[in-house]
A and B are shown apart, each in its own frame.
Chain A
Amino acid sequence: MSTAETEVDVRRTPGLVPVTETMRTVEREPGAAPAGPPAAAPPPSRPVAAFWRLLGSELGLTFRRPRNQVMLAVLASVPLLIGIGLRIAAGDEAVGGLIGAVAGNSLMLTFVSFSFLVLLLMPVSVAVVGGDSVAGEAGAGTLRYLLAAPAGRTRLLAVKYLNAVLFAYAVTIVVALSALVTGLVLFPVGPVTLLSGSTVSVAEGLLRILVTVGYVGAGMAALAAIAVALSTFTEVSIGAIAATMVLVIVAQVIRAIPQLDFLAPYLLPTWWTRFDAVLRSPIDLAALGQGLLVFGAYIGLFCSIAWARFTGKDITS
């Protein structure tokens, strides 16, 4: 800055001066600046760095926001409650089934926690962040200033979606970590007995938890795509959040009706619960792969809808 200020255009005051970059801009693009008026802001010299900076700003907003922190805290507390409940239940006498499986091995609590959370609480928190992404900015009026900055519509949407995906993974990781720590404290550590009846080592068990986190996170990222797409259609974030949750609940109702079974393979919740494929021996990669394909299809479809809507929309808020 200090060298720059010596080259300041004398017609401007320090606060407004483009410093040395002004000079470089003119040199780099001789035809760009019309004669007479001074050239100003440099062109996007490092678009990648600028993209990460905007994403960083977005992540800062998301993770520093008290509402989102509370959601993460609630999600972290659920495995703890489940763990304590199971510990009490298992303390009475030797029990089989689910309680027995968890009581017998600390790592199982992670899978049990996911099966409790993956259908409602995790989708709610992802829907809140995704549904708020564009609609929240529009409702607050900050969207017009971001776009006039100019953030660029495609660029802003990409940042918003990436942010929602990262939050979805944060949610998944928080649940897994909380369950893992709770499990290690309350239950014995040892080889994990799978649904197929065979056992794997603790290291292998941890690896399978990692695979589960990757898979469930992708499932939540697919929901985030729906939420962000709906978010581009309204200026009221609660509307986009509620609409996303309605879709999740309707999908679960459809799954509960036997006559509508043929629809189940097209619904996200069907595939969210398929993470139990990691508890087969060997891991049911076909099921996981098919789930990931469905998630990918949802992401592709809803990101396209969001893009088409957002890039063609009049911002009147």
Chain B
Amino acid sequence: MTVVTHEAGAPSGAAPPSGDPGDAIVTHGLTKRFRGGQVAVDALDLTVPRGSVFGFLGPNGSGKTTTIRMLLGLVAPTAGDYSVLGMPLARALPRVGALVEGPAFYPYLSGEANLLRFDAADPTAAGATARTRVGEALERVGLSAAAGKRFRNYSLGMRQRLAIAAALLGPRELLVLDEPTNGLDPQGTREVRALVKEIAADGTTVFVSSHLLAEVEQMCTHAAIMRTGNLVAQGTIASLNGGLTTRIRVETPDAADAARVLDALGLADVRSAAPEVTAELGGQAPEEINAALVREGVAVRGLAVVRPSLEDVFVGLTGEGFDVDG
């Protein structure tokens, strides 16, 4: 029954690391250095509150998957400790549904047989109810019709859905989804988002990693941002965005005039970069700014209110574009 042993948290008997027992995931100084010295995750302090939909953001290669592998007991941390659902990992894992680094199934088995196989691996799952639960999980992801089809013949989207179905086999308190929309078409992506919302509405904590900022903004209540193994920021989406202000952007051939007008209106941080002028919106109404511009004879080609996105947060925190990574 040994699941994982590492210096900080024995799988059973040991008291879970300190932290609010109400948190689904807590890590303290969690570090993973692979052989060869490469530090994949560096002193991670992560707190995932129960009931949240937590977006774990970062470019490819920033240590998200290694963190998830540590949380699931697949990889032993080099240092630090963590607790999942506030209990020893061997007891927590049956309550955790996981999708790690894409689907992996037996190609020669049907979708249903694959799920039965993974269900059999869970020592807390009752064999008597297995078929019912597998059927429900398949229905949940819309794969009932393909249940008897071999996994080999599944399309990319069906494979991804089967992996999500596997994560939904039992009663889950925490769902860990690593890049759940990878390989899905726009329709499939929407369906996954809807499913995540539905699951979260049931009270299950969802920990979803992604390299797509927009996806996290749409699905999540909380987020953490990783960059090259380090945690850059974490908190509610609102608090992450809170550090940045809403700006107004004016598209005009008369950039200099427009900048003067915005300045005169008392807007802060006016930046002019023809053919665009931007400024902090403050509390002003965009329509009045537009009226003022037109009154002053500025030709307005476009006017937009730019709300801060997580991408801006990321750029602001790291000074880098999100997709730039090594």
B-contacting residues of A (Cβ < 8 Å)?
1, 11-19, 21-22, 32, 34, 36-38, 40-45, 47, 49-51, 53-54, 56-57, 61, 65-66, 140-142, 144-156, 311-312, 314-316
Chain B interface residue count, CB cutoff 8 Å, equals: 65
B51-105 contacts to A, CB under 8 A, are 51, 69, 72-76, 86-87, 89-91, 93-96, 98, 100-102, 104-105
Residue B137 at the A interface, CB < 8 A?
yes
Residue B222 at the A interface, CB < 8 A?
no
Residues of A within 8 A of B203 (CB): 11-12, 37-38
- Bound Cα distance from A311 to B73, whole angstroms: 11
Residue B142 at the A interface, CB < 8 A?
no
If over half of B's interface residues share one DSSP class (helix, strand or loop), that class is named, otherwise mixed; here it is: loop
**A44 close to B100 (CB less than 8 A):** no
Chain A residue nearest to B128 (CB atoms) is A1
Q: Could you say which of A16, A53, A66, A311 contacts B168, with CB atoms under 8 Å apart? A: A16
**A40 close to B172 (CB less than 8 A):** yes
Residue B284 at the A interface, CB < 8 A?
no
Separation in Å of the B33 CB from the closest CB of chain A?
A: 11
Residues of B within 8 A of A156 (CB): 121
- Bound Cα distance from A152 to B50, whole angstroms: 25
**B74 close to A155 (CB less than 8 A):** no
Residues of A within 8 A of B132 (CB): 1
- Bound Cα distance from A36 to B133, whole angstroms: 25
Known: A12-B171, A148-B98, A152-B1. 5 other contacts (CB 8 A): A34-B21, A40-B172, A149-B93, A150-B123, A314-B75
- Bound Cα distance from A206 to B41, whole angstroms: 63
**B120 close to A148 (CB less than 8 A):** no
**A36 close to B22 (CB less than 8 A):** yes
**A148 close to B108 (CB less than 8 A):** no
**B124 close to A43 (CB less than 8 A):** yes
**A155 close to B120 (CB less than 8 A):** no
Residues of B within 8 A of A61 (CB): 106, 109, 117
Chain A residue nearest to B24 (CB atoms) is A37
- Bound Cα distance from A18 to B98, whole angstroms: 17
Contacts A40-B171, A311-B2: A57 and B117 contacting too (C-beta < 8 A)?
A: yes
**A41 close to B117 (CB less than 8 A):** no
Separation in Å of the B204 CB from the closest CB of chain A?
A: 7
Contacts A34-B86, A148-B100: A14 and B136 contacting too (C-beta < 8 A)?
A: yes
Chain B residue nearest to A316 (CB atoms) is B75
Chain B residue nearest to A22 (CB atoms) is B171
**A15 close to B204 (CB less than 8 A):** no
Residues of B within 8 A of A57 (CB): 116-117, 120-121
Q: Could you say which of A12, A36, A65, A149 contacts B50, with CB atoms under 8 Å apart? A: A36
**A16 close to B172 (CB less than 8 A):** yes
**A11 close to B123 (CB less than 8 A):** no
**B104 close to A17 (CB less than 8 A):** no
**B22 close to A12 (CB less than 8 A):** no
Residues of B within 8 A of A47 (CB): 1, 123
Chain B residue nearest to A37 (CB atoms) is B50
Residues of A within 8 A of B127 (CB): 49-50, 53
**B118 close to A145 (CB less than 8 A):** yes
- Bound Cα distance from A51 to B202, whole angstroms: 31
Separation in Å of the B237 CB from the closest CB of chain A?
A: 22
**B22 close to A148 (CB less than 8 A):** no
**A311 close to B74 (CB less than 8 A):** no
**B73 close to A146 (CB less than 8 A):** no
- Bound Cα distance from A42 to B74, whole angstroms: 22
**A144 close to B104 (CB less than 8 A):** yes
A sample of 11 cross-chain residue pairs with beta-carbon separation below 8 angstroms, ordered by A number, consists of A40-B171, A41-B170, A43-B124, A45-B124, A47-B1, A47-B123, A145-B98, A148-B72, A148-B98, A149-B94, A150-B94
**B1 close to A142 (CB less than 8 A):** no
Contacts A16-B168, A16-B172, A16-B204: A146 and B121 contacting too (C-beta < 8 A)?
A: yes
Residues of A within 8 A of B72 (CB): 144, 147-148
Separation in Å of the B130 CB from the closest CB of chain A?
A: 8
Separation in Å of the B20 CB from the closest CB of chain A?
A: 9
Q: Could you say which of B3, B96, B101, B120 contacts A152, with CB atoms under 8 Å apart? A: B3
Residues of A within 8 A of B96 (CB): 148
Q: Could you say which of B76, B102, B107, B124 contacts A42, with CB atoms under 8 Å apart? A: B124
**B1 close to A148 (CB less than 8 A):** no
Residue B323 at the A interface, CB < 8 A?
no
Residue B166 at the A interface, CB < 8 A?
yes
B129-187 contacts to A, CB under 8 A, are 129, 132-133, 136-137, 139-140, 166, 168, 170-173
B197-247 contacts to A, CB under 8 A, are 198-199, 202-204
**B93 close to A148 (CB less than 8 A):** yes
